[in-house]
Structure 1
Amino acid sequence: TAGSVYSVKFAGEIFTAEEISGTPITAIDGTIVTVGDVSRVIDGAVDTGTLARLSIAGSTPAPSISLQVYKVSGGNILDLADAVTTHIGDATGELYPDNVHVEIVTSDAELIRTDLNNLLKNGAETILIIVLLLLIFLGWREALLASVAVPLTFLMTFIVLGQLGYTINFLTLFSLILALGILVDGAIVVTEGMHGYLQKGYAPKDAAIATIREFQAPLISGTLTTIFVFLPMMMTSGIIGKFIKSIPVTVTIVLISSIIVALGVITTLGSRFLKTALAGDVDAKKQRFTDRFIMRSYTFYDRVLKGFLNNSRRRTRFFVIMIGLFIASMLLPTFGILKVNMFPAEDADVFTIDLEAPIGTPLHETDLLAKEVEDTLLEDQRIASFVTNVGTGSNGGSVTSGGGTTNQHLASFTINLKKDRTESSVHIIDAYQNVFQNVDGATVTVAQQASGPDQGAPVNIQIHGEDLNTLESIASDVRHVLETIPGARNVALSTKESNGEFVLSIDRSKAQFYGVSTAEVASLLRNAVTGNTVTVLKQNGTDIDVVVKYDLSPAMKGSLSQIDTVDIDEITSLTLTTPRGEIPLASFLYTDLGVSRPVINHEDGDRLVMVTSLVEDGYQAQQIVSAFQKQADQIFLPPGYTFSYGGESESINKSFSDMFRAMFLGMFMIAGLLVWQFRSYRQPFFVMSSIPLSLIGVFPGLVLVGQPLSFPAFIGVVALAGIVVNNAIILIDRINENRLSNGMSIDDAIREAATSRLQPILLTTMTTVAGILPLAITNPSWGPLGYSIVFGLLFSTALTLFMVPLLYQRFGEKELDTGK
């Protein structure tokens, strides 16, 4: 055109709903008929299927949007949490108005920060205890020297963990706190050994060399034995195995670092800063107090030990008593005196409430039920804030979840408690469970996040079989039995009751008579119920679907979901154009209301129905399962139908089985190491006898303080095995040295070794107990772990000082293998 080339663009796009309404369809007698003349054109929004509200400090719940922020792999959750908090503060009045409130509902960073503070606090306490004890018994130089072991060991551990790609999380902090009581043992033994040589007149450098020569074998062997009891834990299977994977890795790194610090760094620093004791260079006041106490302890211990060594009847009585106490201790869990609870409930600042109405309940009716719960929560002064989500479950404590019409019968609440409250969250949860027992036919479950990995309901009874109706009948009987057992609450079936579903069946003969195909009927139903997307509008860079469907509810106004609400008769009254005219669907369709099951569970190809239960405070899942098993004979099981048990009961059995197997493997590895070190097949059993016998202190001790035998307690038993073995190794190594190098008799070698090793054994025991006991008392999370080590170590130390010498005297070799 005009000598130039132009491109041609056809502007036929439609941008607004008004343009669609005004689009011509046809002309009748010169009159234009538009889309708006024959239909309703609605510019609306598709419902999300969920509602969310937020209440802060008792305020009326206001509409809200929930967001979750995740850290990337390798990110620092503490830095991320601080950055989010800063951005929220900076954005107030800029990115959003002042009347918009932003509340951080849950933050895992607070848990990590608390555990990190516990580690730092406990580490500082341990260093202080080491300094005080060594200051009293050895001197201020030795005290300061041993205290550097903790920070140096942790520094080396953090470097190695970082290189391996591990981050600081709950499990690594758990491992570090666990190892805190163990890592100082080597430093104390080395420091006490150098102190002893300096008191004999050795030069500092010579004292360091002599200490390394004397203690390197037993210390390295003792460290390896502790590593051997932890490493096999990596074989634990299932979700518990994944949960504890970082524990053996972290503890192994800590122990290797500690032995390097003890034999390499402490001895080097000691050779430079410690001084040889000169005649008259001992503080008289100190000598009157500490030396007199030590000598009295030596004298008393030697006298008692000599009495056992010289009296066979007393020795026999001692062995019988120990065996009897061991059997009695092992019976405590069997008879339920010592409760077994893998991960006991702990006080938490956040808990959740789940409301489940019958399937098919519309969203607005579920919202009315949710508001009843909100009214009760608003009256509780212990609550700092809560978030309500209607149309979704709690999703394991998450405040965000995908919506959908299939979840319109659900509602969830995430409640933040005030930190200055006086009641435990466990008691608050039990109280709310009683309050919400009856909420207009809805089921309400109040719970908090498990302290360990999520294992589902604590009690899970599974019925396996073929016919689903039979399974549901048996499951109903199981539910009735469970509801009568004390401690069981919120008993539920995995099969959910629903309103059912309408099934439309076509009479093919009648359809053929009218000349209608199955595909035509299906297309009509699809257009009527869901509609078809015919085009897409573009507005401000956003694609908006244009859906064409039958207007079955012309009188309905409001949101698209309300317009879509129709009666089944309106669907069957639709007409279809046929060669014989307009024929209603009801002429050749049959309508039937059938049973609808949202979920059908299978396991190994078999159908199963699960009956689950939560557990009230003061009860254990194992108790409830055992009580049910006693009454299971009352339930008729047809041939081919069986019971199995999951939940916490199954997890406890499998996890403890795996960990016991790992522990036995570790003990086998320890035995092999000790056979190589001592060149004896008998002496390793003297050392390892202290491992099972330490349970005499652990199990009654847990009963005494009201703690269950839990996962942290079992980890404490594993750590205890390494600690008590170390003491026995040091003792037997000295006995053998006395016999080989000094030519002593067995009794003399035992008595000299026992008295000379008394001080380092007692010092390591006191520092370990004093370092862990405050944590066990002040922090319930670490209580089972701490009490296991404290009670077990106190008893096993006394046991080692007597049991090992007596076993050596009774069963030890008359002649030792010199290795030549």
Structure 2
Amino acid sequence: MQLPELAVRNHQFTWVMFLLLLLLGVVSFFSMPRSEDPQFDFSAAVVKVVNPGTTPLDMEKLVADPIEQAINELDDLRVIKTNIEDGLVVIRVEFLYGTDPEDKYDDVVAAVGRVRADLPDSIVDLDIDKISPADVSILQLALTAQDASYRVLQRHADALEQRLERVAGVKRVDVAALPQLEVQVQADQRTLNALGISVDEIYQVISQAAANTPGGHVNAGARRFTVRTSGDFSSLQQIRDTPLRAQDGRTIYVRDLARVQLTEGLPSYRAKFNGEKAVFLSVVQRKGSQIFDVMAGIDAVLNDYQPRLNEGVRVQRVMDQSVSVERQISGFFSNLNQGLVLVAVLALLVLGWRPALVVVTAIPLSIFIAIGWVDFSGFGLQQMSIVGLVIALGLLVDNAIVVVENVSRHLRDGDSSSAAAIEGSRQVAWAVTSGTLTTVLAFLPMLLLQNGSGTFMRAMPVTVTLTLFASLLIALMLTPLLASKIARAATPMPKAQQALERFASTVYLRWLNKALKYPARVMVVSIALLVASLSLFPAIGVSLFPKAEKPMILVNIDMPEGTSFADTQRMANRVEAIVSQQELVVDIAQNVGRGNPRIYYNIFPSRQTVNFAQLFVTLKTSSLDDVEPLVVSLRSQLADIAGAQILVKEFLQGPPIEAPVSIRVIGEDLDELQRVSRDIADLMDGTPGVVGVDNPVGKHKVDLHVNINRDKAAMLGIPLNRIDKTIRTALVGATMGSYRDDEGEEFPLTLRFAEFPTPQLAVFDGIYLTTASGSLMPLKQVAEIELQTSIARFQHYNTERMARVTADVIPGYTTEAVTNAVVERLQQYDWPAGMRFSVGGEQENRKEAFGGMTQALILTVFGIFAVLVLQFHSFVQPLIVFAAIPFALIGALVALYITGYTFSFTAFIGLTSLIGIVVNNSIILVDYANQMRKDGMEKLDAIAAAARTRFVPIVLTTLTTIGGLLPLTLSGSSMWSPMGWAIIGGLLVSTLLTLIVVPVLYQYLGRMNQDDLA
């Protein structure tokens, strides 16, 4: 290995290279994107179709089935999830991870386009959106006013939207909770009936008058003129003055029987912020931009616009992600800095100030060089990449410590500074390189994981890998150079190192000789400890991702089917009054008719129906110790409210899931599906640990069915489509065209009845139809109004009918244990023929996350084995290193058991890191023993001498790794503390076992070829 010698001999080139790498890292650090959570794309799309007034069964037949059939023909499909309810179909399409998001989105658009002509003409909205976790709002604003009209709020919202979208780094601004303003022609039923004018006649006359048909052009000699015909309406008065018919010698105008005004349409989504009428503006950040730069631009726009606000209008912040990003990044870097200080202190105590200076210098250099590489890899600074730096902090010093300690030993043996730096580095270069490679390979499963969890975590193993490669480069080039310039042979050994050396030469060597004398006993005790620790696994439990430590919660309010918008609004106000009394509550954003705009990467806006409301509640603290008791208290208080199902939801980390516990009941018979889903909901509700059971499919609704006497209608010459159109006009209004005002704003032109601002049952008494003879006939002469019970909503899963029953888990219970208890009950349930269940939620994600690592782990094992074979030129000695890996589990499991954390995905990351460290320590030990055997030592003497010599660097690397992770571990983070405890506990035990068990295994398996000994 020539790199150390090249670096020392060509020191000018080495300095220039590392200064350039450092400069690149510093520039990247200040310019690279910052966000709260990972910003990544995966191949998924959502198709939303709105067709008001259409029953769920008709929506399934006319909309869902054709679109699903077209999408199901696409390649690389992972899953199709469909929600079907009254007038709304939402189809979520997910493709296999690793496929191109843009290509797959285009495929979905093309598939829907192929069947668009077959879908109903009455569809009012068909949207196809690409799902991106990065497409989340970084800022939610509320335009609030107590008395100002929505017209005023709309004017301010439009002005702010335009200004904010011009800010650098803003992708778009979404405006929500703004009522649809429309020009209504409100006809008087009694006047219509008295004059013998039907609703259909008004519709035909106004829609024809509103049409803007270009007249074409005409030539006059050498000139050409564009011909303008009637055009559309230029004012509301022109609509009022539209003639309908001439009757009894006079002209009847629209103004004679209808009121024309610009007003709000039927309420479908309204919002309040802290009790005031509100319109929400959500700012979505452009991917790759710097959140703090974007927020600075937004603040400038808001400060500039503030003087323009009038009529009691205010701009308030509902959610500002930059505050959370600042807190989170500051917290992680605080942990990183504290870890750096602890590592420096430990290195100083054990190595002395000169060697410690070399070691500590390698840390910030490795981190900044890695940050530059991370930036070029397309990953920004967020919790995953920063945690990757924290993990790497404990690992990257290993290489520097091993090199510096070996150089110091050569200096104490009398070598010159340059010779000691070159020979000391060369002697351990292969061990350091192979140790780094095996540690990197230990993280390979997370890099290869092609699922939601792997994509979510990818920045972390990438950051660890790049940081380790940076530390390897520094250890092989810069550390020898610094050691040659700074180290001194006359420097006395620090007292702490002297104490460790004495301990290694006396107590440790005595215990090691006993272990080598009784190897069988050592292996039996070690295996017994391993088996005993594995028995703790059921008590520890398994989870995927913990709750997010966010200062906010959601309160979902589901009213019975058929509830009016006004009743849902009253219930939302009642619930808000209770929630606002809680001491921790800061602000409440009330949404009636739809979920709050998207403010978290794995939560998408839910439901779009008048009987649903959602409160977005911001809190004073994000500590789970405070938030969880609040959630429990709210659930208890809100459970007493009759007439609504109220669920208090906490935010979760990781890929999106419907709920922690989710059961899919699958079957084609809707009646059976509804009945069984109710049974399953009751069964889940009786399971300990379950709270907030939700079963949308189990609810039924009562519809009014207009049963038309088709024979009678035909005899009277009344077409069925005229009956349908007249009923729709009377109830919700019929769009006759559009109206553009003086400012260029376009509004729907709608015909409806004046007597009822909202649809009422009494409307049917006044509906008249025009017969073929021109006379008017009451609707009730050709139709009967009947009550019918029908299913309110249901779902599809991969085109099969399905009911999803979900639930949350009470604090103190693990999701895995609760889900398993539910599944055990489900297996005892008497399932009807054609019905079955499958498990979703966290358990499905967890099995996918852990199960998908099998092939990657096999590849990793072979990769590590290949590196070790190249290192030791043996197929047997790598088994010594591999045998030490299982013993790393002992301390990790014991630490998790004592601290009360479950074996989560982040704990698994800790175990992966632990494997890398254990392998690294074992490699250094075995490699040094082999070198001593080449110098003529016997096997037992060589391994004993190697263990005593490498005792100090192994102990020091263990202590520095623990020191680097200690601040993050003690922070109490539900996400990262399990990882820290797994590494720290595993290191404490595995270091002891490495220093005892590896020499014993070497005694059994440390055979070397004659060529290697020569």
List aligned pairs for 1:311-710, cutoff 5 A.
311=518, 315-334=519-538, 337-394=539-596, 397=599, 407-419=609-621, 423-495=625-697, 497-529=699-731, 530-549=733-752, 551=753, 554-556=754-756, 563-567=757-761, 570=764, 573-579=767-773, 581-710=775-904
Equivalent position of 1:756 in the other structure: 949
Aligned amino acid, residue 392 of structure 1 = R
Give the C-alpha shift of residue 586 in structure 1. Answer: 3.1
Provide the C-alpha distance between the structure 1 equivalents of 2:818 and 2:598, rounded to a whole number of angstroms: 23
Aligned amino acid, residue 355 of structure 1 = I
| Deviation digits for residues 121-178 of structure 1 (CA, Å, limit 9, x no counterpart) | 2332233223222222222111111111121112211211222222212222222222
Higher mean Cα deviation, 435-444 or 538-547?
538-547
Give the C-alpha shift of residue 798 in structure 1. Answer: 0.5
Provide the C-alpha distance between the structure 1 equivalents of 2:406 and 2:771, rounded to a whole number of angstroms: 103
2:342 matched to 1:129? yes
Equivalent position of 2:35 in the other structure: none
Provide the C-alpha distance between the structure 1 equivalents of 2:706 and 2:326, rounded to a whole number of angstroms: 59
Provide the C-alpha distance between the structure 2 equivalents of 1:686 and 1:107, rounded to a whole number of angstroms: 53
Provide the C-alpha distance between the structure 1 equivalents of 2:717 and 2:312, rounded to a whole number of angstroms: 64
Give the C-alpha shift of residue 46 in structure 1. Answer: 2.3
Q: Is the contact made by 1:474 and 1:635 (CA closer than 8 Å) also made in structure 2?
A: no
Equivalent position of 1:772 in the other structure: 965
Provide the C-alpha distance between the structure 1 equivalents of 2:622 and 2:999, rounded to a whole number of angstroms: 53
Aligned amino acid, residue 564 of structure 2 = P
Change (3 A) 1:616 1:421: closer
Aligned amino acid, residue 453 of structure 1 = P
Give the C-alpha shift of residue 210 in structure 1. Answer: 0.7
Change (3 A) 1:34 1:819: farther
Provide the C-alpha distance between the structure 1 equivalents of 2:291 and 2:823, rounded to a whole number of angstroms: 45
Provide the C-alpha distance between the structure 2 equivalents of 1:422 and 1:508, rounded to a whole number of angstroms: 63
Higher mean Cα deviation, 337-346 or 588-597?
588-597
Q: Is the contact made by 2:568 and 2:611 (CA closer than 8 Å) also made in structure 1?
A: yes
Aligned partner of 2:435 among 210, 222, 225: 222
Aligned amino acid, residue 746 of structure 2 = D
Equivalent position of 2:511 in the other structure: 304
For the residue of structure 2 that corresponds to 1:41, the secondary structure is strand
Change (3 A) 1:401 1:661: closer
| Deviation digits for residues 702-740 of structure 1 (CA, Å, limit 9, x no counterpart) | 010111111111111011111110000000001111112
Q: Is the contact made by 2:874 and 2:1008 (CA closer than 8 Å) also made in structure 1?
A: no
For the residue of structure 1 that corresponds to 2:701, the secondary structure is coil
Q: Is the contact made by 1:536 and 1:545 (CA closer than 8 Å) also made in structure 2?
A: yes
Higher mean Cα deviation, 640-649 or 603-612?
603-612
Aligned amino acid, residue 186 of structure 1 = N
Provide the C-alpha distance between the structure 1 equivalents of 2:893 and 2:455, rounded to a whole number of angstroms: 27
User: Would you tell me which structure has more strand in proportion to its own residues?
Assistant: 2
Change (3 A) 1:402 1:381: closer
Provide the C-alpha distance between the structure 2 equivalents of 1:30 and 1:767, rounded to a whole number of angstroms: 102
For the residue of structure 2 that corresponds to 1:65, the secondary structure is strand
Provide the C-alpha distance between the structure 2 equivalents of 1:649 and 1:376, rounded to a whole number of angstroms: 34
Change (3 A) 1:724 1:115: farther
Point out where structure 2 has 5 or more consecutive residues left out of the alignment. Answer: 1-221
Give the C-alpha shift of residue 76 in structure 1. Answer: 0.6
Q: Is the contact made by 1:397 and 1:414 (CA closer than 8 Å) also made in structure 2?
A: no
| Deviation digits for residues 548-594 of structure 1 (CA, Å, limit 9, x no counterpart) | 34x2xx434xxxxxx24131761785323234943333333354433
Change (3 A) 1:488 1:402: closer
Aligned partner of 1:282 among 492, 501, 522: 492
Identity among equivalent pairs (%):
29
List aligned pairs for 1:160-179, cutoff 5 A.
160-179=373-392
Provide the C-alpha distance between the structure 2 equivalents of 1:790 and 1:619, rounded to a whole number of angstroms: 25
TM-score normalised by the chain length of structure 1: 0.90
2:358 matched to 1:148? no
Point out where structure 1 has 5 or more consecutive residues left out of the alignment. Answer: 56-60, 557-562
For the residue of structure 1 that corresponds to 2:287, the secondary structure is coil
Aligned amino acid, residue 744 of structure 1 = M
Equivalent position of 1:236 in the other structure: 449
Aligned amino acid, residue 63 of structure 1 = K
For the residue of structure 2 that corresponds to 1:70, the secondary structure is strand
For the residue of structure 2 that corresponds to 1:451, the secondary structure is coil
Aligned amino acid, residue 753 of structure 1 = A
For the residue of structure 2 that corresponds to 1:291, the secondary structure is helix
Provide the C-alpha distance between the structure 1 equivalents of 2:766 and 2:230, rounded to a whole number of angstroms: 42
Aligned amino acid, residue 744 of structure 2 = G
Aligned amino acid, residue 639 of structure 2 = Q
Provide the C-alpha distance between the structure 2 equivalents of 1:39 and 1:633, rounded to a whole number of angstroms: 63
Aligned amino acid, residue 425 of structure 1 = V
Aligned amino acid, residue 686 of structure 1 = I
Provide the C-alpha distance between the structure 2 equivalents of 1:68 and 1:143, rounded to a whole number of angstroms: 50
Give the C-alpha shift of residue 649 in structure 1. Answer: 1.5
For the residue of structure 1 that corresponds to 2:776, the secondary structure is strand
Higher mean Cα deviation, 187-196 or 628-637?
628-637
Change (3 A) 1:545 1:483: closer
Q: Indicate the RMSD between aligned Cα atoms, in angstroms.
A: 2.8
Aligned amino acid, residue 772 of structure 2 = T
Higher mean Cα deviation, 569-578 or 673-682?
569-578
Q: Is the contact made by 1:716 and 1:788 (CA closer than 8 Å) also made in structure 2?
A: yes
Change (3 A) 1:235 1:596: farther
2:914 matched to 1:720? yes
Equivalent position of 1:560 in the other structure: none
Provide the C-alpha distance between the structure 1 equivalents of 2:841 and 2:953, rounded to a whole number of angstroms: 46
Change (3 A) 1:270 1:535: closer
Give the C-alpha shift of residue 621 in structure 1. Answer: 1.6
Equivalent position of 1:58 in the other structure: none
Equivalent position of 2:932 in the other structure: 738
Equivalent position of 2:416 in the other structure: 203
Q: Is the contact made by 2:674 and 2:698 (CA closer than 8 Å) also made in structure 1?
A: no
Provide the C-alpha distance between the structure 1 equivalents of 2:641 and 2:749, rounded to a whole number of angstroms: 41
Q: Is the contact made by 1:775 and 1:782 (CA closer than 8 Å) also made in structure 2?
A: yes
Aligned partner of 2:289 among 75, 93, 111: 75
Change (3 A) 1:479 1:191: same
For the residue of structure 1 that corresponds to 2:976, the secondary structure is helix
For the residue of structure 2 that corresponds to 1:393, the secondary structure is coil
Aligned amino acid, residue 657 of structure 1 = G
Give the C-alpha shift of residue 536 in structure 1. Answer: 2.5
Provide the C-alpha distance between the structure 2 equivalents of 1:126 and 1:12, rounded to a whole number of angstroms: 74
Change (3 A) 1:461 1:23: closer
What is the aligned residue count? Answer: 790
Equivalent position of 1:45 in the other structure: 264
Change (3 A) 1:642 1:246: same
Q: Is the contact made by 2:701 and 2:792 (CA closer than 8 Å) also made in structure 1?
A: no
Higher mean Cα deviation, 82-91 or 318-327?
82-91
Give the C-alpha shift of residue 345 in structure 1. Answer: 2.2
For the residue of structure 1 that corresponds to 2:279, the secondary structure is coil
Q: Is the contact made by 1:298 and 1:758 (CA closer than 8 Å) also made in structure 2?
A: no
TM-score normalised by the chain length of structure 2: 0.74
Aligned amino acid, residue 294 of structure 2 = L
Provide the C-alpha distance between the structure 1 equivalents of 2:1011 and 2:706, rounded to a whole number of angstroms: 89
Equivalent position of 2:478 in the other structure: 265
Q: Is the contact made by 1:15 and 1:537 (CA closer than 8 Å) also made in structure 2?
A: yes
Aligned amino acid, residue 734 of structure 2 = G
Q: Is the contact made by 1:146 and 1:187 (CA closer than 8 Å) also made in structure 2?
A: yes
Give the C-alpha shift of residue 528 in structure 1. Answer: 3.5
Higher mean Cα deviation, 79-88 or 750-759?
79-88
Change (3 A) 1:244 1:421: closer
Equivalent position of 2:69 in the other structure: none
Change (3 A) 1:483 1:178: same
List aligned pairs for 1:86-125, cutoff 5 A.
86-89=300-303, 91-92=305-306, 94-97=307-310, 100-125=313-338
